[in-house]
Structure 1
Amino acid sequence: MASRLNISCGSCGYEDISKNAKKWCTICEEGFCGECEKYHKSMKVTRDHKMISIEDYRRIENISINLNCEIHGKKLDLYCKKHDTAVCVVCIPLDHKSCSASDVISIDDASKNAKQSSALLDLEGTISATIDNVKHCIKDQEIALTNVDQDEKTIRKTITDTRKNLNEYLDKIERKLLLDLKSKHGNCKSEILKILNKLRQIEKEVEKLREETLQMKRFASDLQVFLGTRHLNKTMSKKIGSLKEEIRSCTKNRMEIDVNHVISSLENEVKLFGEIKVIETMANLQLKDAKTDQAQIQIPGFSQSIQNVTLKLQQKFDIKGSFQPISGCLVLPDDRIIVADYWGTGELMEYNNDGQHIRDIPVSGKPHSLTIVDTDRIAVTYGEFEYLEIINTKNTSERKRVNCSDNCWGISYQDQKLYVIVLQQGIVVIDLNGKTLNTIDINVYNVYNITTTSDRIYFTDTESNTVHCCSMTGQEIWVFKDQSISNPRGISVDHNQNVFVVGETSKNLILIHHDGKDSKVLLTGSDGLKSPYAVNYNNKKKIICLGYKAGSVAFYQVS
C-alpha cells in the first residue's frame, strides 16, 4: 500500500521519476499522474479499468482485498459459480476439472452490478444487524455493570447497618446487664453492712461489759462483786444469744457473671462477618438474523418446557370502589403496584404489596394500559381520549403528554421506545420525547393489548381469538389460535419469551410456548377467574399480577 503521506505515480516510478499520483486504478492497484492516466486510458487492454481519485482511494486504502490468487500468485480472472469462489487460470486445471464451462465465467461478468447485488445487501444487513446485536449486548452488560455496582453499594450498606444494629443491640444488653449488676451489688452490700453494723454494736456492748467487770473487780466490795457478777453473767448470756442469732442467719455473698454462650463463643465460632456470593445467571442475549429477523441463537435454558410451569397463589385483594375488570396492572421494581381502572372508577391507583391502598395518582382522563419505563416512571394510555402520558410515580407533577391521532389502547416499553396500539394506524413507535419514529402497519381494529421483548412484539386480537408474535418490523413469526382461549385480552411475556395471556370469555390464564406451537392452561374459572382482563409478569420476582375478576387483583408465584 502507498504511504499515508503521498502516493507516487507507479509508471513514473518505474522510470525513476518521482511524481505524485492524481488517480488510482482499482484493477492495477497503482497510482497514476495526469499524463500516465491519459496513457493508461489510451491502451486498449487498460481502457476499461476504473480510475478513482486519490481522495476516494484513501477511503478504501485500509480495506484488504486481495486481487491475486493466494495459492498461485496469479490474477483472479475467473469465477466458479459451482464453488462460489474467484480463481486464477492455474486453479482451473488443478482444482476445477469437474466444473463445466458454464460454471466458470470471467470475473468481470460475475462482478457486474455488484453494488446492487443481493450479496452486498445481505452483507450490509448482516453488518447492521450485528451492530445492533453488539449494541444490545453492550447495553445489557452496561446494565449488568450498573447492577453489580448497585449490589456492591447495597451489600456495603447491609454490612454497615448490620454492624451498627449489632453494636446498638450489644450496647443495649450491656446497659441492661450493668444495671442488673449495680442493683445486685447494692443488695449484697446492703445485707453485709446491715449484719456488720449489728456485729459492731454487739462488739461495743461486750467491750463495755468487760470494762465494767474490770472496774468492779478493782474497786467494788465483795458483796458488790458477788451480786454484780451474777447480773453481768445474765447480761452476757443475752449478748451471746444475740450474737449466735446473728451468726446463724449470716451469709457470705459473692458475685460472678455467666456470659451468654452465644456471645462467649462468638470469637471462637464466628470466623466471618458474612459471605459475599456471586450469583451467576444466563444473560439470555439473543442475536437477530439479518435476513429474517427471526432466526435466533438460542441461549441455554431458552427452550424450557412450559408443562413444568406452576403457579402458587400469594395474595388476593379488592380494588377500592371498583366493580368492573381492571384494565391494567404493574408490579414496580420497589414492589409498589399500579392499577388502572378504565372500565370502573376511571382512577389510577397505587397499592403496596400487602394490598393496602396508598393513594390515587392524579390523572386527566381514564387510564387504560400501563408499562414500566424505568424505576420511577410509567407510561399510561387513555383509550378514547387519544393521548398517553409518561408519569413519574414519585413526583406526579413531572409528566409528559403525547397526543395520538386516534384511540390509543395497549402500550409497551422497549429500548427507549414506546410501542402503542393506535386505532386506524397500527403499532406506532414513539421515543420518550414524544416523537413518532415509525408505524408498523398491522390491523389493530380489535387489538387492545401489547407487550414486547428486545426482538419481538406480541399482541392479542379479540375478534379472531388469536395471539400474534411478530418481529420488530412487523413480520409475522407465529399466530396462536386454540379452543382453550376465547376473547384474549391482557398479555405479558417471561424471560424465556413464553407468553401469558388471559381469556376474558374463556375465564382462564394460559401460557404459550415461545415458538407458538404449545400451550398450557394455568388458571380457570374454578380458581376464581371471572372476566379476567389485565395481567403483568414481573421477570425479576417471577410474580404474576392478575386482574382475575371484577374489582379484584391476585398475585401468583411462578415456578
Structure 2
Amino acid sequence: MASKLNISCGSCGYEEISKNAKKWCTICEEGFCEDCERYHKSMKLSRDHKMISIEDYRQIENISVNLNCEIHGKKLDLYCKKHDIAVCVVCIPLEHKSCSSSDVISIDDATENAKQSSALLDLEGTISATIDNVKHCIKNREIALKNVDQDEQTIRKTITDTRKNINEYLDKLERKLLLDLKSKHGNCKSKIVKILNQLRQMEKEVEKLKEQTLQMKRFASDLQVFLGTRQLNQSLCKQIGSLKGKIRDYTNNNIEIEVNHVISSFMNEAKQFGEIRVSEAMVELQLKDAKIDQAQIQIHGLSQNIQNVSLKLKQKFDIKGSEKKITGCIVLPDNRIIMADYYGGGNLMEYNNDGKHIRDIPNSNRPFSLTAIDTDCIAATYGDKQYLEIINTTCNSERKKVQCSNHCWGISYQDQKLYVVVFQQGIVVMDLNGKTLNTIDIDVSGVFNITTTSDRIYYTDTDSDTVHCCSVTGQEIWVFKDQSISCLVGLSVDMNQNVFLVGQTSNNLTVIQHDGKDRKVLLTGRDGLEYPFAVNYNKQKKMICLGYKTGSLALYQMS
C-alpha cells in the first residue's frame, strides 16, 4: 500500500532516485512524476493506460481490487461471459475448455462502460438498502436498550415501593399489636394491684388486732381479757375468711405472644425478595429488500416452538358437590388449587394437587373468575353482582371488597395491578386497594376471560370466537381466529407468551404461538374433554390445570 504521506515515483525509484509522484496509473498501479508520466504515455504498450491525479488516488487507495489471478498470479486480461468471471490466459485451457470463443472476451471489452453497468447499479442499490437495514437495526436496538433501562428503573421502583408498603404495613400491625399489649398489660396489672392493696389493708388490720391483743394482755382485767379474746377472735376469723376468699380468686395472668403464622411462614418461606426474569420474545424487523443474501437480515430472539409442546396427564379428580362447569381455577405456588363454581353451588373450593378436598373458603356470593396475587392471597370477581374481592385464603376475616360500575367477569393480576373486565366500560386497571388507575377502552360485550403478561393483555371474545392480544395500553397486536375452535372461553399464557385456549363446544385445548400466526391442538374430545371451560398455566411448575368436563378437573405437566 502506498505511503499515507507521499507517493514516490515508481520509475525513479527503480533508478534509486527519490521523487514524488504527481500521477497514478490505475493499470500499472504505480505512481509517476511529470517526466516519467510523459515517457509512460509515449510508449505504445502504456499509451492508453488511465492516469489519475494523486489526490484522486487518495480516494481509492484503501479499496483493494486484485488485478491478478489468485490461482496463477497472472494478469486478469480476459473475461468469461458464461461463468461471469475475470480470468488469466492460463485459466482458459485449464478451467474453461468448454467455453466458446464468443464466451471469452478481452477484459477491456468487458469493462467498457463499467460505471454505467447494471451490476454496479445493483451493488449501489444493495449497499444503500443494507445501510438502511443496519440503521433500522441500530434504531431498533437503541429502542430496546432504552426499554431495558426503563424496565430496570420500573423494577427498582417496584422493589422500593414493595419494601415501603411492607414496612408501612408491618408498622401498622406493630402499632396495633403494641396498643393491644398495652391494654392487656394494663388490665392484668390493675387486677393484681387491686388485690395487692386489699391484702396490704388486711395486713394493717391484722397487725392492729395483734397490737390490741398485746395491750389487752398487759393492762386489761381478766373479765376484759376473757370477753376481748372472744371478740378479737371473731374479728380475726372474719379477716381469715376474707383472706381465703381472696386467695381462692387468685389467678396468675401470664402475657404471651403468638406471631401470626403468615408472618412466620413469610420469614421461613421467603428465601428471596423476588425473582428477576428475562423473557425473550421473537422480534422480526421488516427490512428493505437487497439483491444479495448477505443483506437480508432478520433478528430473532429465543422462543419455544409450539410444535414441540406436549402434555402429560398427572391427575384427574372429581370436584366435591359440583354438577356444573368450573368457571375459574388457579394453582398456587404451594400446590393448592382454588376453584370457582359460579354456575353450580357458588362455592370457592380449595383442593390439594392429589385431588383431596381441603375446605370450602367462605365467600360472599358466587365467584366467577380467579387470579393469584401471592401464595396466600387471591382475587375473585362476582359477575352480575358488580364487585370483586381480594381474599386472604389463610385468614377468612382478611378480605377487601371493591365495587365495580357494572358486571365484572375476567380478572388477572400483574405487577401489583389488577386487570378487570367490566361490562360497558372496558378493561379496568386498579391497584390492590381498589383504586382505578386506568381504563382501557375496548368493547368487552362478549369478553368474559382475560390474562396478562408484563407487557401484553390477552382476552377471548365469545361473540366473534376470536382471541385478542394487545399492549397494556390497549393497542392491538394480533387477533386469532380458527374455525376448529368454537365458543372460546378460558385462556392462560406461558413464559414465552404462547396462549393456551379452551374451545368449549369444539372440546379442545389449543396452544397459540406468541405472534398469533400458528397453533397446535393439545387435547380433544378423545382425551375426555367435554364442554371444558377454565384453564390455568402455572409458570413456576409448568403445569396446566383444566376444568376438562362438568364437575371434574385435570392436571397436566407441560414439556
TM value normalised by structure 1: 0.55
Change over 3 Å in CA distance of 1:299–1:144 after alignment to 2: closer
Three-state SS of the structure 2 residue aligned to 1:73 is: coil
- 1:266 is displaced (CA, Å) by 4.0
Q: Give the whole-Å Cα distance in 1 for the aligned partners of 2:14 and 2:40.
A: 14
Residue number in structure 1 paired with 2:98: 98
Q: Is the 8 A contact 1:286 1:299 kept in 2?
A: no
Residue number in structure 2 paired with 1:27: 27
Residue number in structure 2 paired with 1:190: 190
Amino acid at match of 1:183: S
Q: Give the whole-Å Cα distance in 1 for the aligned partners of 2:110 and 2:470.
A: 48
Amino acid at match of 2:121: L
- 1:297 is displaced (CA, Å) by 5.4
Amino acid at match of 1:252: N
- 1:253 is displaced (CA, Å) by 1.3
Change over 3 Å in CA distance of 1:157–1:263 after alignment to 2: same
Q: Is the 8 A contact 1:316 1:355 kept in 2?
A: no
1:62-118 Cα offsets, whole Å, 9 max, x none, are 000010111111100011112211111111111111222121111111111111111
Q: Give the whole-Å Cα distance in 1 for the aligned partners of 2:95 and 2:183.
A: 105
Q: Is the 8 A contact 1:286 1:296 kept in 2?
A: no
Three-state SS of the structure 2 residue aligned to 1:52 is: strand
Q: Give the whole-Å Cα distance in 1 for the aligned partners of 2:10 and 2:469.
A: 64
Report the count of equivalent residues: 346
Three-state SS of the structure 2 residue aligned to 1:157 is: helix
Three-state SS of the structure 1 residue aligned to 2:245 is: helix
Residue number in structure 1 paired with 2:277: 277
Unaligned runs of 5+ in 1: 306-311, 320-330, 336-350, 357-491, 502-508, 512-518, 528-539, 543-556
* Superposed counterparts of 1:407-422, under 5 Å: none
Q: Is the 8 A contact 2:133 2:297 kept in 1?
A: no
Three-state SS of the structure 1 residue aligned to 2:45 is: helix
Amino acid at match of 1:40: H
1:431-488 Cα offsets, whole Å, 9 max, x none, are xxxxxxxxxxxxxxxxxxxxxxxxxxxxxxxxxxxxxxxxxxxxxxxxxxxxxxxxxx
Q: Is 2:300 aligned against 1:214?
A: no
Q: Give the whole-Å Cα distance in 2 for the aligned partners of 1:42 and 1:97.
A: 38
- 1:271 is displaced (CA, Å) by 2.2
* Matched-pair identity in %: 73
Change over 3 Å in CA distance of 1:541–1:163 after alignment to 2: farther
1:121-151 Cα offsets, whole Å, 9 max, x none, are 1100110010001000000110011111111
Q: Is 2:11 aligned against 1:11?
A: yes
Q: Is the 8 A contact 2:24 2:57 kept in 1?
A: yes
Three-state SS of the structure 1 residue aligned to 2:24 is: strand
* Superposed counterparts of 1:34-183, under 5 Å: 34-183=34-183
Q: Is the 8 A contact 2:129 2:290 kept in 1?
A: yes
Q: Give the whole-Å Cα distance in 2 for the aligned partners of 1:354 and 1:232.
A: 91
Residue number in structure 2 paired with 1:245: 245
Q: Is the 8 A contact 1:510 1:523 kept in 2?
A: no
Q: Is 2:477 aligned against 1:353?
A: no
Q: Give the whole-Å Cα distance in 2 for the aligned partners of 1:58 and 1:72.
A: 29
Q: Give the whole-Å Cα distance in 1 for the aligned partners of 2:273 and 2:48.
A: 80
TM value normalised by structure 2: 0.55
Three-state SS of the structure 2 residue aligned to 1:44 is: coil
Cα RMSD (Å)? 4.0
Residue number in structure 2 paired with 1:236: 236
Q: Give the whole-Å Cα distance in 2 for the aligned partners of 1:124 and 1:159.
A: 52
Amino acid at match of 1:353: T
Q: Give the whole-Å Cα distance in 2 for the aligned partners of 1:318 and 1:157.
A: 30
Change over 3 Å in CA distance of 1:355–1:114 after alignment to 2: closer
Amino acid at match of 1:102: S
Q: Give the whole-Å Cα distance in 1 for the aligned partners of 2:3 and 2:470.
A: 56
- 1:296 is displaced (CA, Å) by 5.9
Q: Give the whole-Å Cα distance in 2 for the aligned partners of 1:130 and 1:272.
A: 47
Change over 3 Å in CA distance of 1:81–1:107 after alignment to 2: same
1:261-309 Cα offsets, whole Å, 9 max, x none, are 333344443221111111112221243223599x96566699x99xxxx
Amino acid at match of 1:264: S
Change over 3 Å in CA distance of 1:521–1:113 after alignment to 2: farther
Q: Is the 8 A contact 1:510 1:520 kept in 2?
A: no
